[in-house]
Each structure stands twice: as C-alpha cells, then as structure tokens.
Amino acid sequence: MKYSYYPGCTLRTKAKDLDDYARASAKALGFELEEIEDWQCCGGVYPLGTDEIATKLSCVRALNAAKEKEQELVTVCSACHHVMKRVNDDMKNVEDICTRANNYMELDEPYKGETNVLHFLEVLRDKVGFDELKKKVVNPLTGKKIGAYYGCLLLRPGKVLNFDNPENPKIMEDFIRAIGAEPVIYPYRNECCGGYISLKEKEMAENMCDKITESAEGFGADMLITACPLCMYNLNKSSRREIPVVYFTEILAEALGVKEVQA
C-alpha cells in the first residue's frame, strides 16, 4: 500500500526522529510513504477566520497533489494533521472557502476535499490494524508503563478531526498495548501543553506542563509518548518532570526491531 506523505517543516529539522522512525516503521509494516513533491509548511495552526484563504493554500496544494495520485494523505505531526484535516473539511463543506481557494489555485479540476487525510496512528488502527501490528512486534516493551499524551491538536474539534473520542480517547492506549507495554490512563492526557504560548510566555506553558507531568507520574507512568514536536518541546521544559518524553514512532520502531536501521 502506498500513501502520499506530508512530513511538515519540523520533521525535517528538530523532529527528525519522529520522521525517521515513522518511515522505518512503515517499511517494516509493509506500507510506503511517498513524500509529496515541493510541499509547503501548513502554518502550524489552522487559520480560524472564515475570510482567511491564502493561509490555507499550502494545505490545499498538498491535498490536491495526493488527489492527483489517487492516494490517501498521511501525516505524523499532530499539528500538520490538525491543519490538513480542517482545511480539507472546509474544502469539502464550506462552499465559499472552496470557491475562493480554487480561484487562487487555477487547477484543471477544482479541489473539493476528495482526499482522505490520515494520521499515522489512524493508519496503524484502521489500515494495518492493532492486531496485525502486535504480530509484527519483535521486541515487545513488556513491563513498560507508558502514558499517552494526546494534547489538543489530535483530538479537537472532534466532529472535524474524527480521530477518536475527544474526551476519552483510546487509540494511543491501544497502540501501547499492541507493542506489548502497559498504558497508564491519567486525567491530564488531553489537556493543552500551552502550544505556541511558550514562545512569549514561557512560564504559562511551564505551569501547564508541570500539571501534565505531575498527573502522569502520579498515576505511575515511567514514560510519556507524543506525536507533536511542540508538545515534546513544552513538556521537556517542565522543570519538575522526571520521566522521559519520546515520540510514539520511536517506541514503535523499537518494538518492530528497526530502531537502529534508519530509514
């Protein structure tokens, strides 16, 4: 199976691990991530203003590139996934935005939200299947107690992202079980890490991340996993944090025995 792949700006630079381990794991699981040519940054945040068109075009270009290849579009970064799905929803369901974006694009055939956008975790759940994944694990992470940190961007708004139950998600816990570890459910797993506030208001983000790490450690986690480079950055700034924060693709690659083999 071949998917169009949108890595995004940070996976090329500060979050190379997130990208490399995703590619290596995909290969081990028997699917291919074909990077979209000349993709542009999604902007990191979804432009909420209904009159914002130009800021949505980088996503429309990527979505249309996948459509032309008749492939589904896979993202790994939570933020790219969030922005891509919401722009796609606009193109599918908001006539005004769709018309105006297509006026800029001047495509042979207008783009109307035809591409299906999947987060890598959704590929694991819905395409590979967690039972199949379990069969391919060669190094089960037995005995590891892992807290899933969802944050906001994967889950909300639930009606648009359609990723999992936004208040009581389980996809990452099911993933943790599939690779042989034990999920730790803690109350702050879908609370915000502070996001972009950490650029100018570092203390505010740190306070939020302190609550998250305290909650996870209090419930017995000895590791946190995330899909978002910004969540990882913010969580790592928590001064009271004792447990490591790693990308979910890293422990996936470890479980599949491809951690040392870089993609």
> Could you list the residues that contact another protein (CB under 8 A)?
8-10, 13-15, 41, 43-51, 55, 77, 79, 152, 155-158, 166-167, 191-192, 194-201, 204, 208, 229-230, 232-233, 236
Instruction: Say how far apart CA 1 and CA 16 lie, in whole Å.
Output: 23
The residue among 101 and 128 lying less far from another protein, judged by its C-beta, is: 101
CA triple 73-108-118, angle to 5 deg: 10
CB of 19 to another protein, least distance (A): 12
The β-bridge relationship of strands 32-35 and 2-6 is: parallel
With respect to another protein, which residue has the nearer C-beta, 104 or 196?
Answer: 196
Q: Least Å distance between CB 162 and another protein?
A: 13
Counts for the chain of helices (H) and strands (E), in that order: 11, 8
Shortest Å distance, C-beta 124 to another protein:
22
Give 113 or 229: the residue with its C-beta nearer to another protein.
229
Which residue, 51 or 106, has its beta carbon nearer to another protein? 51
DSSP state of 36: P
Q: Which is nearer to another protein, 42 or 178 (CB)?
A: 42
Q: Which is nearer to another protein, 10 or 71 (CB)?
A: 10
Q: Using the Cα atoms of residue 215, residue 220, residue 221 and residue 222 in order, give the sign of their dihedral.
A: positive
Give the nearest distance from C-beta 36 to another protein in angstroms.
18
The token duo for 127 is 């395409």
CB 227 within 8 A of CB 78: yes
CA proximity to 91, closest of 78, 108, 104, 79:
104
Sign of torsion over alpha carbons 208, 212, 217, 221: negative
Give the chain's largest Cα–Cα span.
56
Least distance to another protein from the beta carbon of 8, Å? 7
Neighbours of 186 (CB within 10 A): 21
In angstroms, what is the minimal distance from the CB of 44 to another protein?
3
